[in-house]
Amino acid sequence: MTDSSFFDVSTGQSQVKSDIVAKYFDAWSRVMIATQNKLGGSENRIAYIDLFAGRGRYSDGTISTPLMVVRKAIQDVVLRRRLVTIFNDKNEDNSDSLKQAINHLPRVETLTYPPQIETQEVGEEIVRMFEQMSLIPTLFFVDPWGYKGLSLRLVNSVLKDWGCDCIFFLQLQPNQYGPE
């Protein structure tokens, strides 16, 4: 599958990945919010960041992980007030498509923090930015299919603060590391 055809039809594998991330996000966000409520303090935000976000919707109409997360936030009154979302894709067409898909979600305007959509290549600049930041509890989703940029330093830079977690998927190309 080439990069240009990746978003034509959602594969079973893509649906399973999105379901795993959406369910993990739901559980993780509940734990983070409950812990923040218990501890008190002034910080009541949590974040979800997807560094390789894609278009938001496949050509067959299936929604991808970013839309699943934003829809969950819209439906949950507490999450709606607390969730900060940042989506990135180095492909400007993908970022534009994602922005349109998010803007067409019913009641998206009820989110306290409108989703931020970036168009950057994941690399040293992003790693340095995360290394220098003190992060609110953040779930990072990194699925770099077809892109470079995933490094141990990147993972470390996003896991250094309390409540931060990272999900990443690696996909090996057939015969990349020996026989199938």
Span 132-168, pLDDT tens digits? 999 999 999 987 655 567 788 988 999 999 999 999 8
Bridge partners (DSSP) listed for residue 167: 141
Give the pTM: 0.86
152 vs 91: CA distance, rounded Å: 23
pLDDT at residue 123 in the model? 87
CA distances from 174 to 9, 171, 177, 178, 179 (A): 20, 9, 8, 8, 8
Q: Convert the pLDDT of each residue in 19-45 to its tens digit.
A: 899 999 999 999 999 999 999 888 899
Tokens at 19, concatenated: 């379901």
41 vs 53: CA distance, rounded Å: 32
